[in-house]
Amino acid sequence: MSNDDEHWMRRALDLARRGETRPGANPIGCVIVRGGAVIAEGYNEVDLRHDPTAHAEIVAIRRAGERLQCHELRDTTLYSTLQPCGMCTMASIWAKIGRVVFGAGRGDVHRMYFEDRHIDTLDFIRDAYSPDISIKGGVLAAVCAQLYVPPDADVSPPHKVAR
């Protein structure tokens, strides 16, 4: 693990902790870096914005596009405290992000974070997109995993919201 990867993951951890304290936000942090400088960052804002796509990675990708006035984020690295879901993985591919580094992976947290799905986005990338993007997992995984419900926790199903 490189010192740079640890450095940027610690920044993503700080963002996740900030998200954990903000009403309507959640403890997943993301930083996008190019050439040793932060391009954009964010934390999960799904409940805050009432937007199911406002994952930390999507928030950061949108901010990076606005800042750079470009939809392609070539030569960037995206750091996330949790393995990106399918939506965030595909957004990273379409944004031309060259490298994704994450902390806690599927096995480090409760399956609810991945909707109990058996499909692993890392397998998908290896099969279809490996020349376009590289993925590195497990950077400060134990520290990142502390932000989330552990894999063996007994979690009650969420309550349905009446409309």
Residues with a known catalytic role: 57
- Residue 37 is inside which H or E element, if any? strand 37-44
CA distance 59 to 19: 12
Q: Phi and psi (nearest 5°) for 13?
A: -65, -40
